[in-house]
Amino acid sequence: MVTRIVTIEQQHIDTAAIREAGEIIRAGGLVAFPTETVYGLGGDALNPESSKKIYEAKGRPSDNPLIVHIARIEALPAIVREVPETAKKLAEAFWPGPLTMILPKAEAVPKETTGGLDTVAVRMPSHPAALAFIEAAGGYVAAPSANRSGRPSPTLARYVAEDLDGRVEMILDGGDVELGLESTIVDLAVEPPVILRPGFVTEQMLRETLGTVETDETLFRSDSGQAPKAPGMKYRHYAPKGELTIVRGEAAAVTDYINGQLARGHKENKKTGVIATDETIGRYESQVLRSVGKRNDEREVAQRLYRILREFDDEGVELIYSESFDGAGISQAVMNRLLKAAGHRIKEV
């Protein structure tokens, strides 16, 4: 299969290209497309054969359910058993946007799309090209992140092409994504609602809309002894090729510890890398050094993280140290992804 890459400008969306992308989906094919979070690998959510193709292209186990993307709130009732009050409130507050809701599924959604579950994950993204594409595709696009299983979610079309060239009919290139981390997932099929994956819509924001909201305990701990509730969380997630350690503590102690480890690594002829911030990047003696931005700019940190992890892989870095990002808001999402990438290896100094 030859993959066509078509550039889409946010300001002037190429309607011919969107129409063509939509036709590919309706015919049972696959199209990767930009969203405000990360790129998605799209297929017709109501066609079981399309979902099978998605799993195959991604190299993902087929019991790991897909998110169904819609472009209008009116599209929701057809794919869920009922639309509870909680879902109406959240849609009003956060859609279109980086929030995925889990709801009991309707007959129309094949088990292939939900990995055999009786619930379905639904999201209405805010990216204008994504919305136009979903409409053109018939209104229901199943899409995981557009990476091969085991790689960071792609934030640029170039990374989608690296992972999926020859495996999808088309890639819509919308440039760099706005947010850079996957959507918040909230399970509304249980009472009270539970956050299964932290993201830009934070626990506090959800509480303001819903009242009581819990966070799945397994998200930040490796030793909670419970099975994670989002099936995707049980799989070994992205792990960089190098050994990643997160270092947490007072700033000067963190720099000292990391520099000590780097010196040891260099003695062993290891290629080293550091994930630092604008404030600290000048303090490290490392071969590959990347800043995620200003420490107090959570959005920037989130936006850059996956790209930096890919760059470390491309450069063949063997030992990676990252500063820790602790905070209540978007930092929760950053830390959740970093902890997974580090296999929960965290050093307190």
Residues of the shown chain interacting with Mg ion in the complex, contacts defined by CB under 5 A? 145
Binding site partner of 36, from Mg ion, ligand TXA, none, Cβ cut-off 5-8 A by kind: none
DSSP category for residue 14: -
Label the pairing between strands 141-142 and 40-44.
antiparallel
**How many angstroms from the chain centroid is the CA of residue 108?**
26
| Min CB(118)–ligand TXA separation in Å | 8
Rule CB under 6 A: is residue 121 a binding residue for ligand TXA?
yes
Contact 36, 11 (CB under 8 A): no
Rule CB under 6 A: is residue 152 a binding residue for ligand TXA?
no
Rule CB under 6 A: is residue 18 a binding residue for ligand TXA?
no
Identify which of residues 143 and 275 has a Cβ nearer to ligand TXA in the complex: 143
Identify which of residues 164 and 230 has a Cβ nearer to ligand TXA in the complex: 230
Binding site partner of 183, from Mg ion, ligand TXA, none, Cβ cut-off 5-8 A by kind: ligand TXA
Query: What distance in Å separates the CA atoms of residue 100 and residue 338, rounded to the nearest whole number?
Result: 21
| Min CB(254)–ligand TXA separation in Å | 30
Binding site partner of 35, from Mg ion, ligand TXA, none, Cβ cut-off 5-8 A by kind: ligand TXA
| Residue 39 parent element (H or E) | none
Binding site partner of 338, from Mg ion, ligand TXA, none, Cβ cut-off 5-8 A by kind: none
Rule CB under 6 A: is residue 37 a binding residue for ligand TXA?
yes
CA atoms within 13 A on the CB side of 46: 15
Q: Cis bond leading into 192, ω under 30°?
A: yes
Rule CB under 6 A: is residue 117 a binding residue for ligand TXA?
yes
Identify which of residues 145 and 303 has a Cβ nearer to Mg ion in the complex: 145
Identify which of residues 37 and 280 has a Cβ nearer to ligand TXA in the complex: 37
For residue 247, what are its two tokens?
A: 């270092």
For residue 305, what are its two tokens?
A: 């993280």
Cβ burial of 316 (10 Å; 0-12, 13-18, 19+) is exposed
Listed in sequence order, the DSSP H helices in the chain are 15-26, 48-58, 85-94, 128-136, 157-164, 203-210, 251-267, 298-314, 331-341
Dihedral of the CA atoms 302, 92, 82, 123 (nearest 10)?
Answer: -30
Rule CB under 6 A: is residue 35 a binding residue for ligand TXA?
yes
Rule CB under 6 A: is residue 127 a binding residue for ligand TXA?
no
Identify which of residues 196 and 319 has a Cβ nearer to ligand TXA in the complex: 196
Q: Which of residues 217-276 bind ligand TXA (CB under 6 A)?
A: 230-233
120-128, 299-307, 310-318, 337-345 -> range binding ligand TXA (CB under 6 A): 120-128
Question: Residue of minimal CB distance from ligand TXA?
Answer: 232
DSSP category for residue 167: T
Rule CB under 6 A: is residue 106 a binding residue for ligand TXA?
no
19-27, 62-70, 169-177, 214-222 -> range binding ligand TXA (CB under 6 A): 62-70
The CA–CA distances, whole Å, from 280 to 199, 251, 290, 302, 335 equal 25, 9, 10, 17, 18
Contact positions toward ligand TXA, by CB under 6 A? 35, 37-38, 40, 64-67, 100, 102, 114, 117, 119-121, 123, 125, 143-145, 182-183, 185, 196, 230-233
